[in-house]
Chain A
Amino acid sequence: MANEVCFKNLHLDKPWTLETYQSTGGYEVWKKILKEKKPADEIINELKASGLRGRGGAGFPTGLKWSFMPRNAPGDKYIVCNSDEGEPGTFKDRDILRYNPHALIEGMMIAGYTIGAKAGFNYIRGEFWEPYERFEAAIHEARAAGLLGDNILGSGVSFDLHTHLGGGAYICGEETALLESIEGKKGQPRFKPPFPASYGLFGKPTTINNTETLASIPLILQNGGKWFLEIGIPNNGGAKLFSVSGHVNKPGNYEIPMGTPFAELLEMAGGMRNGNKLKAVIPGGSSTPMLPGDVMMDVNMDYDSIAKAGSMLGAGSVIVMDETTCIVKALARISYFYYEESCGQCTPCREGTGWLSRVVNRIENGQGRPEDIDLLLNVSKKIEGRTICGLGDAAAMPVSGAIKHFRDEFQYHVDHKKCMVSAAQS
């Protein structure tokens, strides 16, 4: 079964309107929570039961994350939605904002209610102008309908929502850089601890979740945690949006149950372009190590299976590469991205990403030296696990992944000063 959660209304006419959303039961959960003054613990327990894990990349259990908030402590608290969606290969949150903005609004309000926040921010990637306008329009609708704002539906509960359009830096997707950016500062990750749950936006306790995570909440609470869990498989509950791109016939977003075999997803995406042979797949966005095609064909799309195969589900961004792809060139592109996007505050990432990028480029350009492949492995290992935020790892992992599975291609580049793939083709 596809499209059961965030894409539930995708087939309907103008699914983004309040009217359509409400026609399929939208905001009923919110109203019920308000009416019954549902205890926060109950909501959190339901989430824990659902097995929902963060859809932003790290896969942290959402119920557990919410339980860290000091919700009864006095003072302001915030819920922040991460719609920065900057990871190359990821474009699912964009479509949630475009086609199901009310699910996100409802999810954010429920989150705010649960963690004791009276205000929320949705941080939208700078290039997402159309989704931004759509989300803003949805906020207006919800506010006009009295679902959002002061003393909502006479319940005594108040909640307001603000949108913040980013400036176009990938690093602002990292949750603490995102907070800095909302505060009007340069987007630069903060060192953790303290974690946002104790010192977050404007120094107040804050929970940050991905768009897809939050947009899944209303249905989970409507149908129960067990329902969601059982869509997927144990420890990998629910359905997940996969953004499939690359050498397939029908690139796009597919919402499928966790645990669906990759082969099935590939089929949904129309199979390989020109019937070409599958060479490699980046399963979770450009920061996750690539896997050879034949390995992927035996993998199921869930956190545990992909981890077992040596990569990560990440944000569910599946980049498919066929036999015409030069892996060195692909890596050069990826390494350049992280080099450009490093915020530059911590040493291994600031200095190391540029080093990696230059060496990969050198190999790509036929100027590689015999020691370069080991140098790449060594430098990426020196970055990994030693930086302030995950960008350092994100830059390092693709390098070791690509070399691990396709070392011969790198070696060919170094030895022959040209590309193995194009040599084979001509």
Chain B
Amino acid sequence: MVNIQINGKMLEVENGAMVIEAADEAGIKIPRFCYHKNLSIAANCRMCLVDVEKAAKPLPACATPVTEGMIIHTQSPKAIAAQKSVMEFLLINHPLDCPICDQGGECELQDVAMGYGDDVSRYSEKKRVVANKNLGPLINTDMTRCIHCTRCVRFGEEIAGIKELGMTGRGEHAEIGTYVAKTVSSELSGNVIDLCPVGALTSKPFRYSARAWELRQFDSIAPHDCLGSNIHVHTRQDKVMRVVPKDNEAINETWLSDRDRFSYEGLNSEERLQSPMVKYNGEWQETDWDTALIAAVDGLKNIVASAGADNIGMLMSPSATLEEMFLSQKLMRALGCHNIDHRLRQQDFRDQDNAPVFPWLGQSIENLEQVDAALLIGSNLRKDQPIAGHRIRKAAIADAKIMFINPVDYEFLFPVAEKIITDPRQMGKELGAVAKALIEVAGVTAPEGLKALLENVVPTEQHKLIASNLSNANNATIILGLSAHTNPDFSTLRALASLVAEMANCTIGYLTDGANSSGGWLTGAIPHRTHQQEKVSSKNLNALEMLRSGLKAFVLQGIEPEKDCADHALALNAMEQAEFVVALSMYKSESLLSEANVLLPVSPFTETSGTFVNVEGCWQSFNAVVEPLGDSRPAWKVWRVLGNLFNVDDFDYLSSDEVRDEVHSFAGSVTADNKIAWKIPNALQNNVDGVVRIVDTSIYSIDPIVRRAPSLQQTADARIPAIHIGEELATRIGLMDADQALVRQGNGQVTLPVIIDDRLPKDSVLIPPCEMGETYLGYESSVVELEKI
């Protein structure tokens, strides 16, 4: 600690802190443009010049470390003169047409100019004009407004990990642009919009749609991944206009993924379901809530009467709120139906009875950047959970050994210490080899049964390296990512991962699907346990079994089964075969219109109150920020009314808070331990016949909202339907880049273009889930047949 004085105020400050940090802490305002607390120091704008006693020249507060006894004046004539002159320089070439600039009203330059600018310009030369750059569908450029603070450049280098933007040219000709003419592709790219202090980089989807001062700001929680990034939602006249990050150092710091930022476009989609609809004799009719609810209740009662409650299945979006999950399962269980699940993309449930109270990250999100070794299994971290990817990247840059066992050689923008790219059916075997290496190299004692299982496994140098990196680290973790969850051998993966974690003495964690998988477990939106962690005795069906069992009725919330379930073709088929389908939905998609009998319009996260429990077990509640669109209603209210209509006891909740408080009373203090004794599998998967399909749900097709966000759908990450295939396999089948090929999987078949993709393991193709007319393919990691057309 050192003692300094700013404007006469005595302060005690951390050693090594910069003057600007000390001032910020003390609430003393120093104007700045290039400084940003989460970026490196550039000291190039010179706006923060302050007067430091004993220094001949004014010094930049952002780059001047405090020293004992330092006396600083931020408002002395010397400081003011310096700040004013910098302001004058900044303005000489800056357009003075704020009324037509999209940043107007929230421009840092405008704000500071109010305090430090002069009324008249002494600069009478021609102003500089800079050509705009096309940065893609998300970011609009107006480069003449750029003040060269390089925040956007530093963001690319330091946070996103891609040097997409840079300053080329010298002096007055210095320009920000992409080095080679191309658009930006980072999944965090939208952050440069917030960072840019002026109107040079603005949001393309939001452009010219509202003025900053017309907007109202509300806090909320992003609904697309398990981190629960904190957001501000900006609305005007009861419409969501845009989303920007809200600082939360423990979760998203100041950042936001493009998915969380731009998905709001899907909220205002034309496809929004705005009034309840009932299908009478194959004809849809818009109707009022009472009629629709009665239709839903009657339909379900008929099924219960004719076929029994266990002939109903309930599929719940993993991004539904805690309140919705709790009420829906409470209702279904009251009806006698325990076929309830939110684990829609999972296909291996063999070990579910052993699962922790809720599978969680096993550590704080902040800890991800502190690890010195991590093994991620089945994770496209960067795209699956961009903010977690950013944390791990920080660790990697600090020399942590980040390792992967993955079905695709994904691109990570940080040094990857080891990676094993393998046929998804072989992931268990690879992990087994790491376990074996631990036993051999680290000499740890293996639990009973493991030795026998691994008898024929021979670890390579790489397995040994992974093993030693894990066991030598002080803070190591093993994380199962999204594609581990969808792997047909998930139970083996998690058993082995836990054993490796045990033996290498590291934490084990999960990165889960949706925004609220944790809530799904805690509220009992799973077939085998109630909200109070009691085992349910009857033979209940999990998500996949429901689709396979020819159930007579389905109740859906927030999903499109043929896109959000493990087997798309199977899901579609199950819905079509069912006699009665009720969907609580935000959208009236083609498929829901053909599958369902009753459509109940429910609110997205911006139109309802609710709670998400993130992957570290943090409960985050939010309120509605706009009124429900049309006749739609918050889903928790719909469940509440349904409960009343079915005469279920204790269903008279007056607010979502009341629901949450009830859940909190039993689940609020549960702590989950991921480290539980898993059953050691009997055998390792050995069948590698045929060509296997990797599904790899893309970042922008993960849920119904993002699928309807047009700008995101124009980015490079929104995949076009295609068969990605490795060179070797393609040659074997006689396929070339841009060929058309027929692919068959299960009952589905479709013709798609071929893309040669060198990221894939042997005998695997990557076919992202995509709408291909009416045809849907089947499971992750099941066999496909290919034929050249």
Report B38-73 CB contacts with A as 1/0, cut-off 8 Å: 000111111101000000111010010100000000
Which A residues from 312 to 350 make CB contacts under 8 A with B? 339-348, 350
Contact residue among A341, A346, A375, A382 (Cβ-Cβ distance under 8 Å from B170) = A341
B56 to chain A, nearest CB (A): 7
Residues of A within 8 A of B167 (CB): 186, 344-345
Q: Which residue of the partner chain A has the closest CB to B174?
A: A344
> In the complex, A341→B171 CA distance in Å?
7
Report if B552 contacts A (CB, 8 A).
Answer: no
Report A189-222 CB contacts with B as 1/0, cut-off 8 Å: 0010100000000000000000000000000000
Report if B123 contacts A (CB, 8 A).
Answer: yes
Name the residue in B63, B82, B150, B170 with the highest tally of chain A Cβ atoms < 10 Å from its Cβ.
B170
On whether the beta carbons of B171 and A347 are closer than 8 Å, the reply is: no
Known contacts A347-B148, A386-B58; decide if A169 and B170 are in contact (CB<8 Å). Answer: yes
> In the complex, A339→B47 CA distance in Å?
21
On whether the beta carbons of A387 and B150 are closer than 8 Å, the reply is: no
On whether the beta carbons of A350 and B148 are closer than 8 Å, the reply is: yes
> In the complex, A348→B43 CA distance in Å?
12
B171 to chain A, nearest CB (A): 4
Residues of B within 8 A of A352 (CB): 89
> In the complex, A375→B123 CA distance in Å?
10
Q: Which residue of the partner chain A has the closest CB to B47?
A: A347
Report if B172 contacts A (CB, 8 A).
Answer: yes
Q: Which residue of the partner chain A has the closest CB to B92?
A: A351
Report if B546 contacts A (CB, 8 A).
Answer: no
On whether the beta carbons of B172 and A350 are closer than 8 Å, the reply is: yes
Report if A34 contacts B (CB, 8 A).
Answer: no
On whether the beta carbons of B44 and A345 are closer than 8 Å, the reply is: yes
Known contacts A191-B43, A354-B171; decide if A344 and B86 are in contact (CB<8 Å). Answer: no
A188 to chain B, nearest CB (A): 8
On whether the beta carbons of A355 and B46 are closer than 8 Å, the reply is: no
> In the complex, A388→B58 CA distance in Å?
12
Report if A310 contacts B (CB, 8 A).
Answer: no
On whether the beta carbons of B58 and A344 are closer than 8 Å, the reply is: no
Q: Which residue of the partner chain B has the closest CB to A382?
A: B85
Contact residue among A339, A341, A342, A351 (Cβ-Cβ distance under 8 Å from B93) = A351
Known contacts A345-B148, A347-B46, A382-B85; decide if A358 and B125 are in contact (CB<8 Å). Answer: yes
Report A363-383 CB contacts with B as 1/0, cut-off 8 Å: 000000000000100000010
Q: Which residue of the partner chain B has the closest CB to A171?
A: B170
- Chain B interface size, as a band, is 35 or more
Known contacts A350-B148, A388-B43; decide if A344 and B57 are in contact (CB<8 Å). Answer: no
Residues of B within 8 A of A386 (CB): 46, 49, 57-58, 82, 85-86
B157 to chain A, nearest CB (A): 11
Residues of B within 8 A of A339 (CB): 171-172
On whether the beta carbons of A346 and B46 are closer than 8 Å, the reply is: yes
Which B residues from 141 to 159 make CB contacts under 8 A with A? 147-148, 150
A-B contact count (CB 8 A): 94
> In the complex, A353→B173 CA distance in Å?
12
Report if B627 contacts A (CB, 8 A).
Answer: no
Contact residue among A191, A344, A388 (Cβ-Cβ distance under 8 Å from B173) = A344
Report if A146 contacts B (CB, 8 A).
Answer: no
On whether the beta carbons of A351 and B174 are closer than 8 Å, the reply is: no
Q: Which residue of the partner chain A has the closest CB to B65?
A: A193
Report if A25 contacts B (CB, 8 A).
Answer: no
B144 to chain A, nearest CB (A): 14
Residues of A within 8 A of B89 (CB): 347-348, 350-352, 355, 382
Residues of A within 8 A of B123 (CB): 355
On whether the beta carbons of B58 and A345 are closer than 8 Å, the reply is: no
Q: Which residue of the partner chain A has the closest CB to B93?
A: A351
On whether the beta carbons of B171 and A355 are closer than 8 Å, the reply is: no
Report if B680 contacts A (CB, 8 A).
Answer: no
> In the complex, A130→B48 CA distance in Å?
45
On whether the beta carbons of A346 and B85 are closer than 8 Å, the reply is: no
Report B18-55 CB contacts with A as 1/0, cut-off 8 Å: 00000000000000000000000111111101000000
On whether the beta carbons of B92 and A355 are closer than 8 Å, the reply is: yes
B725 to chain A, nearest CB (A): 37
Residues of A within 8 A of B58 (CB): 385-386
B108 to chain A, nearest CB (A): 14
Residues of B within 8 A of A344 (CB): 148, 167, 169-174
Residues of B within 8 A of A387 (CB): 46
Residues of A within 8 A of B47 (CB): 347
> In the complex, A193→B60 CA distance in Å?
11
On whether the beta carbons of A348 and B172 are closer than 8 Å, the reply is: no
Residues of B within 8 A of A340 (CB): 170-171
Q: Which residue of the partner chain A has the closest CB to B175?
A: A344
How many chain A residues touch the partner (CB < 8 A)? 28
Report if B194 contacts A (CB, 8 A).
Answer: no
Residues of B within 8 A of A347 (CB): 44-47, 86, 89-90, 147-148
On whether the beta carbons of A345 and B150 are closer than 8 Å, the reply is: yes
Report if B122 contacts A (CB, 8 A).
Answer: yes
On whether the beta carbons of B170 and A385 are closer than 8 Å, the reply is: no
Residues of A within 8 A of B92 (CB): 351, 355
Report if B88 contacts A (CB, 8 A).
Answer: yes
Which B residues from 84 to 142 make CB contacts under 8 A with A? 85-86, 88-90, 92-93, 122-123, 125
> In the complex, A339→B174 CA distance in Å?
12
Residues of A within 8 A of B42 (CB): 191, 345
On whether the beta carbons of A345 and B90 are closer than 8 Å, the reply is: no
A281 to chain B, nearest CB (A): 27
> In the complex, A193→B18 CA distance in Å?
12
> In the complex, A193→B125 CA distance in Å?
36
On whether the beta carbons of B171 and A342 are closer than 8 Å, the reply is: yes
Known contacts A352-B89, A385-B58, A386-B57; decide if A342 and B44 are in contact (CB<8 Å). Answer: no
On whether the beta carbons of B41 and A345 are closer than 8 Å, the reply is: no
> In the complex, A350→B172 CA distance in Å?
6
On whether the beta carbons of B65 and A348 are closer than 8 Å, the reply is: no
On whether the beta carbons of B85 and A348 are closer than 8 Å, the reply is: yes
A178 to chain B, nearest CB (A): 15
Contact residue among B41, B82, B93, B171 (Cβ-Cβ distance under 8 Å from A191) = B41
Name the residue in A340, A347, A350, A382 with the highest tally of chain B Cβ atoms < 10 Å from its Cβ.
A347
> In the complex, A341→B150 CA distance in Å?
19
Residues of A within 8 A of B147 (CB): 347
Residues of B within 8 A of A355 (CB): 89, 92, 123, 125
B496 to chain A, nearest CB (A): 41
> In the complex, A348→B93 CA distance in Å?
12
> In the complex, A346→B150 CA distance in Å?
10
On whether the beta carbons of B170 and A342 are closer than 8 Å, the reply is: yes
Residues of B within 8 A of A346 (CB): 43-46
Known contacts A342-B171, A344-B173; decide if A382 and B43 are in contact (CB<8 Å). Answer: no
> In the complex, A193→B56 CA distance in Å?
16
On whether the beta carbons of A343 and B170 are closer than 8 Å, the reply is: yes
Residues of B within 8 A of A341 (CB): 170-171
Name the residue in B44, B60, B174 with the highest tally of chain A Cβ atoms < 10 Å from its Cβ.
B44
Residues of B within 8 A of A343 (CB): 170-171, 174
Residues of A within 8 A of B49 (CB): 386
Report A161-200 CB contacts with B as 1/0, cut-off 8 Å: 0000000010100000000000000100001010000000
On whether the beta carbons of B122 and A375 are closer than 8 Å, the reply is: yes
Residues of B within 8 A of A342 (CB): 170-172
B235 to chain A, nearest CB (A): 36
Interface of A toward B, CB cutoff 8 Å: 169, 171, 186, 191, 193, 339-348, 350-355, 358, 375, 382, 385-388
Interface of B toward A, CB cutoff 8 Å: 41-47, 49, 56-58, 60, 63, 65, 82, 85-86, 88-90, 92-93, 122-123, 125, 147-148, 150, 167-174
Please, could you name 9 A-B residue pairs with CB atoms under 8 Å apart, sorted by A? A191-B41, A342-B172, A344-B169, A347-B45, A350-B171, A353-B171, A354-B171, A385-B56, A386-B86
In order of increasing CB-CB distance, the 8 nearest A-B pairs are A344-B174, A382-B85, A342-B171, A351-B89, A385-B57, A191-B43, A344-B171, A345-B44
Given contacts A345-B150, A347-B46, A386-B46, 10 further A-B contacts (CB under 8 A): A345-B174, A346-B46, A347-B45, A347-B47, A348-B86, A350-B171, A353-B171, A354-B125, A386-B57, A386-B58
